[in-house]
C-alpha cells in the first residue's frame, strides 16, 4: 500500500493484486485518513467484481458522516454496475475532479 497525502486529500494506492489484503490494511489504518478526502486507487487489481466494490461500503459511510469524500479509481469495470453508495472513476485525475465538485456542494449546503 502506497500513501500520498496532499492538502485535504489522501491517495491510497494498492500495490499488489490482492484486494482483500489491501482492504484489510486500509481498514486498520483508516483512522489516519477519516478526516481527509480519500482516493483509493485499485487500478492494479484485475477482474474486479461488484462484490469487491461492496467491501468499501463501511468506509464510504464513515467518510459521508465526516462530510468527506471517498472515490475509488478502478479500471476494466462496468461502471453501470457500481453500487450507488460508491463513486468509482477510471482515473486519479477524475477522482480529484469529483472531490472538488463534492467540496463545492458541501460548501453550498447540499
Measured distance between the N- and C-terminal CA atoms of the chain, rounded to whole angstroms: 33
All domains in the chain, ordered by first residue: 2-107 (3.30.750.24)
Residue 110: predicted pLDDT: 78
Residue 42 grid coordinates:
485499485
Residues in the chain with pLDDT < 70? none
Residue 106: predicted pLDDT: 93
Residues 6 or more apart in contact with residue 77 via CB below 8 angstroms: 48, 53, 88
Q: Model's pTM, two decimal places?
A: 0.92
| Integer Cα distance of 54 and 102 in angstroms | 21
Amino acid at each position: 500500500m502506497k500513501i500520498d497525502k496532499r492538502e485535504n486529500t489522501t491517495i491510497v494506492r494498492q500495490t499488489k493484486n490482492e484486494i482483500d489484503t489491501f482492504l484489510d490494511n486500509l481498514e486498520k489504518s483508516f483512522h489516519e485518513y477519516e478526516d481527509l478526502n480519500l482516493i483509493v486507487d485499485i487500478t492494479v487489481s484485475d477482474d474486479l467484481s461488484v462484490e469487491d466494490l461492496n467491501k468499501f461500503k463501511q468506509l464510504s459511510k464513515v467518510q459521508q458522516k465526516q462530510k468527506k469524500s471517498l472515490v475509488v479509481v478502478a479500471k476494466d469495470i462496468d461502471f453501470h454496475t457500481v453500487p450507488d453508495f460508491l463513486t468509482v472513476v477510471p482515473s486519479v485525475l477524475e477522482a480529484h475532479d469529483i472531490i472538488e465538485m463534492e467540496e463545492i456542494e458541501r460548501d453550498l449546503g447540499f
